[in-house]
Amino acid sequence: MKKIILTLACFGFCGVSSGQDPAGQTIRVGMIGLAQDGSAPASAKELPRFWKTRLEHVEATVRTLKKGTMSVLTETPGKRNVYLVTYGAAEDRRGTANYNSAVGGRSPFSYARKDGTQKPVVFLLGPVHGQEVEGIAGLLNLIQIAESGRDLRGRQWDELAANLAKCRVLIIPCGGPDARARCPYDSWVGVDYPVHERIGMGTRPDGSNQTWPSVKRIHPMRGPQVGTLGAYWNDSQVNLMHDEWFDPMAPETRAFFRLARDEAPDYIVSLHSHAATPELMQSAYVPWTVKETLKTLGDRLQKRYAAAGLPHRASGTEPKVDGKTFPPPHFNLASALHHACGAVAFVHETPCGLRTPPYPQVDHDQLLDLQLLLYDELFRYAVDHPVNWLADNRSTAP
Ligand SMILES: [Zn+2]
């Protein structure tokens, strides 16, 4: 039974893939912002001041930038703005071909001129799933660090701020505003699993929760099998993790791809949450070299989490050869973004503090540290390992 519950949590909350048993790595702490019996959202007064996850928090943050630049990337089907915040000037690295053709010509450099001397580009795509609010809190705190060197708790992040300043940084604080608007919860600390499942996945016409994996067998999420719409989807009922990549249904998806093609990021993170321990996930259908980088990053990150006394796994997730078993892995947003620009693109899953055993019990401070340590490690790695697409250039080979 336990195994079944764990599987549902890892796969169900986000629909990406996982499978590592987090048992034995849980840390129990006090529950700030406990939502009573878990059936009602915590009020703003019960939540820490640094825990900013609402759309109005995003609006307020992007409109008061001093160092960063704000733009509206696109408008959702629900007429909400998707904001982009950037730091660092863009370099002109534009080559002579789109990524796919450049690779066909055996020269990714022909798409973006990366020779190891350019400024790293990091693209952080905030939650596209509305109930996964933790990533918004992390990014709004990261923006505060980029602006002032301190997070919203007043904690100093000198190395992170210094490394971030050496990069071109693209931050979409909330990738799915329609979905976020449909989620009445600002925090899941102390809430029960079934409540999170209902808000995220919605209900069937008989009022029972939609559940993973059957919830993904209807897409767009409309028709007679849908009771209430959960927070996975935008207002056109599209789950942005599973759009139609070659003919996108959602304007958000088209905007993410346009941004990736224009900026040629070295790293793209799609931020998600689930109930289990944190995971820097492997992406399916990307080159083995990218999978190896994800393993290295995952190892480094889990060590940071362990050293900080946070929920963690023994190591980063091992790469796998895709499709050796049936059903095949899915070609999700992270996989697709890689193929638009060659980035090391991946999903990061954070726990969300549900009180249902056996999931890790975490408070808001810890949830924020899990986010900010990801950024600390990622920016350190990006600065220390500038991408050089000439080093492996075999374009002159027959
Ligand atoms: Zn998700």
Reported as a single tens digit per residue, the pLDDT across 43-79 is: 877 999 999 999 999 999 999 999 999 999 999 999 9
- How many angstroms separate the alpha carbon of residue 316 from the centre of ligand 1? 19
pLDDT tier, 391 (very low <50, low <70, confident <90, very high otherwise): confident
- How many angstroms separate the alpha carbon of residue 223 from the centre of ligand 1? 22
What angle, 0 to 180 degrees and rounded to 10, lies between the N-to-C axes of helices 251-263 and 333-341? 40
> Token pair for residue 142?
């990261």
Give the integer Cα–Cα distance in Å for 298 and 316: 4
- How many angstroms separate the alpha carbon of residue 129 from the centre of ligand 1? 5
Whole-number pLDDT of residue 367: 98
- How many angstroms separate the alpha carbon of residue 15 from the centre of ligand 1? 6
- How many angstroms separate the alpha carbon of residue 89 from the centre of ligand 1? 30
- Encode pLDDT of 197-228 as tens digits: 999 999 999 999 999 999 999 999 999 999 99
Report if pTM > 0.85: yes
> Token pair for residue 370?
């899990």
Would you give the DSSP letter of residue 360? Answer: P
- Residue range 260-264: mean pLDDT, rounded: 98
* Residue 241 belongs to a domain: yes
- How many angstroms separate the alpha carbon of residue 241 from the centre of ligand 1? 8
Whole-number pLDDT of residue 392: 59
- How many angstroms separate the alpha carbon of residue 229 from the centre of ligand 1? 15
* Residue 306 belongs to a domain: yes
Domain carrying residue 280: 2-14+47-384
Q: Cβ atoms within 10 A of the Cβ of 288, count?
A: 9
Would you give the DSSP letter of residue 74? Answer: E
* Residue 31 belongs to a domain: no
- How many angstroms separate the alpha carbon of residue 280 from the centre of ligand 1? 13
- Looking at the DSSP bridge assignments, the partners of residue 239 are 233
Task: Report the amino acid identity of residue 11.
Answer: F
Give the integer Cα–Cα distance in Å for 388 and 112: 10
- How many angstroms separate the alpha carbon of residue 120 from the centre of ligand 1? 26
pLDDT tier, 41 (very low <50, low <70, confident <90, very high otherwise): confident
- Encode pLDDT of 335-365 as tens digits: 999 999 999 999 999 999 999 999 999 999 9
Q: Which H helix or E strand runs over 341?
A: helix 333-341
Would you give the DSSP letter of residue 328? Answer: P
Whole-number pLDDT of residue 14: 56
* Residue 40 belongs to a domain: no
- How many angstroms separate the alpha carbon of residue 388 from the centre of ligand 1? 31
- How many angstroms separate the alpha carbon of residue 127 from the centre of ligand 1? 7
- How many angstroms separate the alpha carbon of residue 273 from the centre of ligand 1? 6
- How many angstroms separate the alpha carbon of residue 337 from the centre of ligand 1? 16
The alpha carbon of 221 is separated from its chain's Cα centroid by a whole number of angstroms, namely 22
Helices (H) and strands (E) in the chain, counts: 11, 7
- How many angstroms separate the alpha carbon of residue 35 from the centre of ligand 1? 22
* Residue 200 belongs to a domain: yes
- How many angstroms separate the alpha carbon of residue 349 from the centre of ligand 1? 8
- How many angstroms separate the alpha carbon of residue 130 from the centre of ligand 1? 8
* Residue 37 belongs to a domain: no
Q: Which H helix or E strand runs over 86?
A: strand 81-87
* Residue 30 belongs to a domain: no
> Token pair for residue 207?
């009022």
- Encode pLDDT of 273-331 as tens digits: 999 999 999 999 999 999 999 999 999 999 999 999 999 999 999 999 999 999 999 99
- How many angstroms separate the alpha carbon of residue 14 from the centre of ligand 1? 3
Q: Indicate the pairing of strand 279-280 with strand 344-350.
A: antiparallel
CATH of the domain at 112: 3.40.630.10
Give the integer Cα–Cα distance in Å for 186 and 32: 13
Sheet-wide strand order for 168-172? 69-75, 81-87, 168-172, 121-125, 267-273, 344-350, 279-280
Give the integer Cα–Cα distance in Å for 66 and 312: 35
Whole-number pLDDT of residue 40: 78
- How many angstroms separate the alpha carbon of residue 224 from the centre of ligand 1? 24
- How many angstroms separate the alpha carbon of residue 350 from the centre of ligand 1? 10
How far apart, in Å, are the Cα atoms of 280 and each of 45, 99, 268? Answer: 32, 25, 12
Q: Indicate the pairing of strand 81-87 with strand 69-75.
A: antiparallel
> Token pair for residue 189?
């600390």
- How many angstroms separate the alpha carbon of residue 13 from the centre of ligand 1? 6
Q: How many domains does the chain divide into?
A: 1
- How many angstroms separate the alpha carbon of residue 168 from the centre of ligand 1? 25
Q: Tokens 């599209």, residue? A: 238
How far apart, in Å, are the Cα atoms of 129 and each of 95, 118, 230, 266, 373? Answer: 34, 33, 9, 24, 22
| Residue 115: φ, ψ to 5° | -120, 15
- How many angstroms separate the alpha carbon of residue 93 from the centre of ligand 1? 32
Give the integer Cα–Cα distance in Å for 290 and 342: 9
* Residue 391 belongs to a domain: no
- How many angstroms separate the alpha carbon of residue 216 from the centre of ligand 1? 12
- How many angstroms separate the alpha carbon of residue 102 from the centre of ligand 1? 31
- How many angstroms separate the alpha carbon of residue 198 from the centre of ligand 1? 14
- How many angstroms separate the alpha carbon of residue 361 from the centre of ligand 1? 19
